[in-house]
């Protein structure tokens, strides 16, 4: 009411002024993207004649008609407008993204950008959401220093995020805080519409200590958009794009004739007279016109040249995204609501991800001193099917067509047909099209905030997340397969995960003259539980989804898995920021966590951190017009923990009943129940602790038009938690080895970023930003000689030991191919039957110089860790046109191209190969890249060796966007505030020397098995057309 009166009075004043004054009177509204801006300064240029905007952002000022209006507000780019006879000038201020006054959410508190003393990086979400994203974590790639992101091409699969190297061999997912919801499950971000995100900040150093035992992998703090109080009107935004995605790089495989030639040459080289079911027994392979052999129901025609299976399993996928948001606010309430729909078809047949989500954020003032609010996010997604047929398509025999003449799927029909035993990958994808993983997720928080007294605020919030996951998979009969199944199976799984967090904080802030103090203390309880089971049943009469119910099967149902687990954490924490005259900054933080995952004294620990900052450029003695307009030093030290473990009860031995592994028919007919030790516990287990040191300097040049930030860090993680396979080795029981504190790892590195933006008088504005991050990873202590990674065919590929980086590649060194018998005879013994047998084979280095090549000749053959990763962002706009380009890359990392054991070697003889095998060794091709063709693996050539290690460096145009905003005159007529169209391309080109499908290898294995490329779903090239409308 008071407001209304005030506003009316003002209006009256305006009217009077308008009525009586003939001198130039200018009025209007100053607003930003969220609505009106009260308190903005409006000034006649070159004079002291000025005013500030009122509560509703209105102003009025008398000035000459040739004057220039200067409108400024803290945190926004100052604008100058020539009056040029206008009487109403509405000004929309643009937030200054490089501005030091930006308020950054750093956990339970906020700080202004310029005051931060820790290493806190922020993603420019407006720029990042230009790229069509499924998972918001993709926004971190190349945009934030020190964060390594490896995407999966499979839509709906979370990318792998590592902040500042690999501090653990265990979970390296950062902790995500989404408006107070806390989780380290990266899949949460699949449920969040990236367009809803206002800020995404990454705490990389001791600043994360406020999250104590879960902070050692860094903390990503996401705050979603909210309305503003006192908005002049509701703002409705509509963002839509539609496009297509296609596979970006397919390797060349042999065609039918080349395949036949390869088979024949292999047989001849192996001392056999070629006599092949398909290719005949003549002097050269003859491609048959129909498949030969047994079990073939009708003539099955071989396509001319053979089937290009990679081409057949890939598709041009549709991509659609629409998101609508509405925000508004009055004096006592504000809200933001949004709805989004995303459909991303994969580049393999029938694969894809769909998501519908809605969000409501609101806050109400109950009184002047009490606010209540909530954030609610509801999303539903469907991903499916789970199968990835890249490996199948690489291996499928090219003679087999997709369909036989009757229209049924074609296959190898029988192993004796010499067509390999790979299942028709198109059939696999088609039959799986009704398989799905459905996910319903609800998360958010409710909070109450009260100003108890001047500067003292209490807040209580309860946040929670409910996740209901259900999956269905149906294995259909496949009569055409070489190894066809005899019964079909339906599998269903349900997993329910929920968590809640109750946080209570007291925050006190006080400013006395130049002294600025902010103190926060809090208590928090967190509980996570999950429960699930999976059931399968065989024997379905009909293979249609309408029939897919467990009760329709005829076999005995099996319980495939069942679990029920929980963990909890109870914490006390506090943080204090003190600054003096914006020159000196001190932050101290401490958190005590108590976790259910550990025992006794190891249950709880204290995590402190401390940081300092000095803004040298604010000192009186600092020259006023220095080229370096801002200079700030900062340093921090913090201790952080990692309590996320692959087990909820790691301290105790667990034995379990098991139908599969423990039951036995003691009486010969009926089963007796048995139990076996399945998990070995370690009562002494404690959490990993990282000691993080960060030293940085922030520079502003040319009146802060250019900003430079350089940080050096060193993170030592002690008590690394690893499953100790040496404690329960192969000679031990068949139980999961205990988690033990097995060593220390050190990551040191540098993050560098540079930004420059310029708005020229011509109306052209442009910006450039670049960042580069490097880390060096070294295991500094390890209780065992070494740990090995996952077991592949022929054993483990990766090894972790003291003095080396985590998960380096370990194997034999190939130093050439034997060209003559004399060379074989002179070389160390590789156990060839005869010297002649060794010609054309790999020659291995005799690492221990004992004259014999065996397992003792394995050594370091590569590292998956990059020398550095980088991102470059370029942008410009001119008269409504805008263009932006984003490049991103990785340099110096090795990839173990495990896929080559299938595509380049006869691991499966009759399957297809890469065209690389054309360059196999022969007496007439002694400079070959591959050994002589054979009909089977010989000389251990597919065992881990340096042949498979490749440089995985790449440089990629991640995003290119061209936009056009219609002039206001047109958008106004359409009833819109703004209207912009854009054309956008993602992953348009990649420069790499890597032979595989994609150098971005997300193996989704543990951190002891990094950089192994096997059945990787390649990233796709996406072209889209989009529109942004604001009403």
Report the candidate in 202, 231, 224, 203 with the shortest Cα–Cα distance to residue 35: 231
Q: What are phi and psi of 253, to 5 degrees?
A: -110, 165
Question: With contact defined as beta carbons under 8 Å apart, do 162 and 137 qualify?
Answer: no
Cα dihedral angle (732, 738, 742, 748), rounded to 10 degrees?
Answer: 120
CB atoms within 10 A of CB 664: 9
Find the shortest distance in angstroms from Cβ 232 to another protein. Answer: 39
Strands 175-178, 219-224: pairing is: parallel
Nearer to another protein, 276 or 344 (CB): 276
CB atoms within 10 A of CB 796: 18
Strands 456-475, 787-788: pairing is: unpaired
Find the shortest distance in angstroms from Cβ 728 to another protein. Answer: 6
113 binds another protein (CB under 8 A): no
723 binds another protein (CB under 8 A): no
Q: Which stretch binds another protein (CB under 8 A): 36-44, 239-247, 270-278, 818-826?
A: 270-278
Find the shortest distance in angstroms from Cβ 736 to another protein. Answer: 8
Contact residues for 195 (Cβ-Cβ < 8 A; gap 6+): 129, 239, 323, 325, 338, 340
Find the shortest distance in angstroms from Cβ 398 to another protein. Answer: 16
User: Which uninterrupted H or E stretch holds 377?
Assistant: strand 370-384
Q: Which stretch binds another protein (CB under 8 A): 183-191, 395-403, 551-559, 819-827?
A: 551-559
Footprint of another protein on 734-763 (CB under 8 A): 734-736
Question: With contact defined as beta carbons under 8 Å apart, do 925 and 919 qualify?
Answer: yes
CA distance readout (Å), 363 to 55, 372, 449, 650, 902: 19, 6, 10, 42, 58
Nearer to another protein, 551 or 669 (CB): 669
* Alpha-carbon dihedral sign for residues 646, 649, 650, 652: negative
182 binds another protein (CB under 8 A): no
Footprint of another protein on 459-488 (CB under 8 A): 460, 475, 483-487
854 binds another protein (CB under 8 A): yes
Nearer to another protein, 171 or 417 (CB): 417
Nearer to another protein, 80 or 734 (CB): 734
Find the shortest distance in angstroms from Cβ 661 to another protein. Answer: 5
Footprint of another protein on 566-605 (CB under 8 A): 566-570, 594-597, 603
What b/e sequence results for 297-333 when a residue is b if at least 16 CB atoms lie within 10 Å of its CB, and e otherwise? eeebebeeebbbbbebbbbebebbbbbbbbbbbeeeb
Find the shortest distance in angstroms from Cβ 324 to another protein. Answer: 38
How far apart CA 211 and CA 503 sit, in angstroms, is: 12
Site string for another protein, 910-949 (x = CB under 8 A): x------------------------xxxx-x--x------
Find the shortest distance in angstroms from Cβ 138 to another protein. Answer: 33
Footprint of another protein on 508-537 (CB under 8 A): 523, 525, 527, 536-537
Q: Which of 500, 584, 908, 989 lies at the binding interface for another protein (CB under 8 A)? A: 908
Q: Which stretch binds another protein (CB under 8 A): 71-79, 371-379, 901-909, 989-997?
A: 901-909
Question: With contact defined as beta carbons under 8 Å apart, do 711 and 119 qualify?
Answer: yes
51 binds another protein (CB under 8 A): no
Nearer to another protein, 667 or 924 (CB): 667
731 binds another protein (CB under 8 A): yes
Q: Residue written as tokens 């926060």?
A: 520
Site string for another protein, 668-687 (x = CB under 8 A): xxxxxxxxxxxxx-------
Find the shortest distance in angstroms from Cβ 352 to another protein. Answer: 26
Find the shortest distance in angstroms from Cβ 794 to another protein. Answer: 4
Nearer to another protein, 117 or 536 (CB): 536
847 binds another protein (CB under 8 A): no
Find the shortest distance in angstroms from Cβ 506 to another protein. Answer: 10
Find the shortest distance in angstroms from Cβ 186 to another protein. Answer: 23
Footprint of another protein on 75-94 (CB under 8 A): none
Q: Which stretch binds another protein (CB under 8 A): 97-105, 161-169, 792-800, 888-896?
A: 792-800
Footprint of another protein on 211-250 (CB under 8 A): none
Find the shortest distance in angstroms from Cβ 30 to another protein. Answer: 43
Find the shortest distance in angstroms from Cβ 486 to another protein. Answer: 3
Residues that contact another protein, how many (by CB under 8 A): 114
Q: What are phi and psi of 960, to 5 degrees?
A: -135, 125
Nearer to another protein, 7 or 603 (CB): 603
Question: With contact defined as beta carbons under 8 Å apart, do 507 and 459 qualify?
Answer: yes
Question: With contact defined as beta carbons under 8 Å apart, do 398 and 256 qualify?
Answer: yes
822 CB-contact burial (10 Å; exposed 0-12 / middle 13-18 / buried 19+):
exposed
Site string for another protein, 291-310 (x = CB under 8 A): ---x----------------
Nearer to another protein, 40 or 797 (CB): 797
654 CB-contact burial (10 Å; exposed 0-12 / middle 13-18 / buried 19+):
middle
Q: 3-state DSSP call for residue 258?
A: helix
Footprint of another protein on 379-408 (CB under 8 A): none
Footprint of another protein on 616-655 (CB under 8 A): 648-649, 652-655
How far apart CA 714 and CA 696 sit, in angstroms, is: 12
Contact residues for 292 (Cβ-Cβ < 8 A; gap 6+): 277, 278, 417
Site string for another protein, 815-844 (x = CB under 8 A): ------------------x-----------
Site string for another protein, 771-790 (x = CB under 8 A): -------------xxx-x--
How far apart CA 505 and CA 503 sit, in angstroms, is: 7
544 binds another protein (CB under 8 A): no
Question: With contact defined as beta carbons under 8 Å apart, do 455 and 443 qualify?
Answer: no
Token pair recorded at residue 963: 């936009």
612 binds another protein (CB under 8 A): no
Nearer to another protein, 120 or 423 (CB): 423
Footprint of another protein on 335-374 (CB under 8 A): none
Contact residues for 11 (Cβ-Cβ < 8 A; gap 6+): none
850 binds another protein (CB under 8 A): no
How far apart CA 41 and CA 565 sit, in angstroms, is: 58
Token pair recorded at residue 74: 């803290």
How far apart CA 57 and CA 93 sit, in angstroms, is: 11
Footprint of another protein on 648-667 (CB under 8 A): 648-649, 652-667
417 binds another protein (CB under 8 A): yes
Contact residues for 986 (Cβ-Cβ < 8 A; gap 6+): 131, 132, 245, 958, 959, 1020, 1021, 1022, 1023, 1024
726 binds another protein (CB under 8 A): yes
DSSP output for 453-468 = ETTEEEEEEEEEEEEE
Find the shortest distance in angstroms from Cβ 655 to another protein. Answer: 4
Nearer to another protein, 910 or 959 (CB): 910
798 binds another protein (CB under 8 A): no
Site string for another protein, 248-267 (x = CB under 8 A): -------------------x
Q: Which stretch binds another protein (CB under 8 A): 50-58, 145-153, 418-426, 956-964?
A: 418-426
Q: 3-state DSSP call for residue 30?
A: strand
């Amino acid at each position: 009411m008071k407001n209304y009166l005030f506003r009316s009075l003002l209006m009256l004043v305006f009217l009077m002024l308008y009525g009586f004054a003939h001198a130039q009177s200018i009025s209007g509204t100053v607003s930003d993207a969220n609505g009106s801006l009260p308190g903005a300064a409006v000034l006649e240029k070159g004079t002291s004649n000025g005013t500030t905007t009122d509560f509703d952002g209105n102003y009025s000022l008398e000035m000459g008609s040739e004057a220039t209006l200067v409108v400024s507000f803290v945190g926004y780019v100052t604008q100058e407008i020539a009056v040029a006879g206008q009487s109403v000038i509405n000004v929309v201020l643009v937030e200054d993204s490089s501005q030091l006054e930006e308020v950054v959410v750093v956990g339970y508190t906020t700080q202004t950008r310029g005051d931060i003393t820790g290493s806190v990086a922020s993603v420019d979400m407006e720029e990042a959401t230009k790229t069509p994203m499924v998972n918001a974590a993709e926004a971190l790639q190349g945009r934030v220093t020190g964060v390594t992101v490896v995407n999966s091409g499979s839509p709906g699969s979370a990318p792998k995020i590592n902040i500042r190297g690999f501090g653990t061999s265990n979970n390296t997912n950062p902790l995500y805080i989404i408006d107070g919801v806390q989780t380290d499950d990266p899949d949460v971000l699949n449920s969040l519409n990236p367009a809803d995100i206002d800020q995404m900040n990454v705490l990389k150093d001791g600043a994360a200590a406020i999250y104590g035992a879960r902070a050692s992998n860094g903390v990503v703090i996401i705050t979603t958009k909210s309305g503003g109080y006192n908005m002049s009107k509701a703002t409705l935004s509509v963002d839509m794009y539609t496009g297509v995605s296609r596979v970006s790089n397919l390797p060349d495989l042999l065609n039918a004739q080349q395949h036949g030639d390869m088979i024949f040459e292999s047989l001849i080289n192996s001392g056999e007279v070629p006599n092949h079911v398909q290719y005949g027994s003549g002097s050269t392979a003859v491609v048959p016109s129909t498949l030969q052999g047994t079990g073939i129901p009708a003539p099955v025609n071989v396509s001319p040249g053979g089937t290009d299976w990679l081409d057949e399993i890939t598709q041009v996928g549709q991509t659609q995204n629409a998101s609508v948001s509405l925000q508004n606010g009055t004096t006592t309430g504000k809200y933001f609501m949004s709805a989004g729909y995303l459909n991303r078809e994969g580049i393999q047949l029938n694969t894809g991800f769909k998501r519908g989500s809605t969000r409501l954020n609101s806050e109400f003032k109950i009184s002047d001193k009490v606010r209540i609010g909530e954030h609610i996010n509801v999303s539903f997604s469907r991903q499916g099917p789970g199968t990835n047929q890249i490996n199948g398509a690489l291996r499928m025999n090219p003679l087999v067509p997709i369909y036989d003449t009757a229209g049924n799927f074609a296959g190898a029909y029988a192993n004796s047909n010499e067509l390999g035993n790979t299942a028709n990958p198109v059939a696999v994808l088609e039959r799986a099209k009704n398989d799905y993983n459905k996910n319903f997720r609800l998360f958010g928080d409710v909070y109450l905030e009260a100003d108890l007294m001047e500067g003292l605020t209490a807040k209580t919030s309860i946040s929670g997340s409910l996740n209901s996951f259900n999956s269905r998979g149906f294995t259909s009969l496949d009569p055409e397969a070489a190894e066809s199944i005899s019964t079909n199976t339906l599998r269903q799984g349900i997993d329910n995960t929920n968590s809640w967090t109750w946080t209570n904080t007291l925050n006190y802030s006080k400013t006395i003259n130049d002294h600025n103090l902010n103190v926060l203390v809090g208590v928090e309880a967190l509980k996570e539980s999950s429960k699930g089971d999976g059931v399968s049943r065989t024997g379905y009469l009909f293979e249609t989804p309408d029939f897919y119910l467990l009760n329709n099967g005829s076999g005995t149902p099996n319980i495939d898995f069942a679990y029920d687990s929980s963990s909890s954490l109870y914490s006390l924490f506090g943080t204090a920021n003190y600054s003096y005259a914006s020159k000196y900054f001190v932050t101290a933080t401490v958190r005590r966590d108590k976790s259910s995952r550990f025992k006794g004294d190891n249950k709880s620990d204290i995590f402190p951190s401390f940081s300092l900052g000095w803004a040298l450029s604010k000192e009186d003695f600092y020259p006023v017009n220095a080229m370096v307009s801002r200079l700030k030093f900062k340093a921090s030290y913090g201790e952080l923990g990692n309590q996320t473990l692959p087990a909820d009860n790691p301290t105790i031995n667990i034995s379990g009943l098991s139908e599969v592994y423990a039951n036995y028919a003691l009486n010969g007919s009926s089963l007796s129940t048995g139990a076996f030790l399945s998990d070995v516990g370690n009562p002494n287990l404690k959490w990993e602790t990282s000691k993080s040191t960060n030293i940085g300097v922030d520079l502003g040049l040319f009146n802060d038009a250019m900003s430079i930030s350089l940080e050096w860090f060193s993170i030592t993680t002690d008590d690394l938690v690893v499953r100790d396979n040496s404690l329960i080795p192969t000679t031990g029981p068949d139980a999961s080895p205990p988690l033990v504190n097995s060593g220390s790892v050190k990551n040191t590195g540098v993050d560098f970023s540079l930004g420059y933006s310029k708005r020229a008088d011509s109306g052209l504005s442009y910006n450039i930003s670049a960042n580069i991050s490097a880390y060096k990873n070294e295991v500094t202590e390890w209780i065992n000689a070494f740990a090995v990674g996952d077991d592949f065919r022929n054993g483990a590929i990766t090894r972790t030991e003291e003095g080396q980086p985590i998960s380096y590649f370990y194997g034999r060194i190939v130093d050439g191919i034997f060209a003559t018998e004399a060379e074989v005879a002179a070389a160390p013994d590789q156990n060839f039957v005869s010297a002649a047998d060794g010609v054309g084979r790999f020659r291995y280095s005799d690492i221990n110089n004992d004259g014999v090549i065996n397992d003792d000749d394995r050594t370091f053959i590569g590292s998956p860790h990059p020398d550095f990763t980088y991102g470059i962002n370029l942008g410009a706009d001119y008269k409504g046109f805008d263009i932006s380009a984003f490049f991103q890359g990785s340099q110096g990392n090795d990839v173990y191209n495990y896929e080559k054991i299938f595509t380049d070697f006869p691991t499966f003889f009759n399957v297809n190969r890469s065209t690389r095998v054309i360059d196999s060794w022969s007496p007439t091709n002694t400079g070959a890249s591959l050994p002589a063709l054979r009909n089977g693996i010989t000389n251990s050539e597919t065992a881990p060796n340096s042949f498979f290690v490749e440089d995985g460096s790449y440089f990629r145009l991640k995003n290119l966007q061209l936009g056009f905003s219609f002039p206001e005159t047109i958008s106004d007529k359409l009833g819109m505030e703004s209207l912009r169209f854009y054309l956008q391309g993602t992953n348009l080109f990649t420069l790499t020397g890597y032979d595989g499908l994609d150098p971005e290898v997300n193996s989704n294995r543990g951190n002891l098995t990094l950089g192994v490329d096997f059945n990787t779903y390649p990233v796709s090239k996406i072209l889209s057309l989009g529109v942004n409308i604001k009403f």
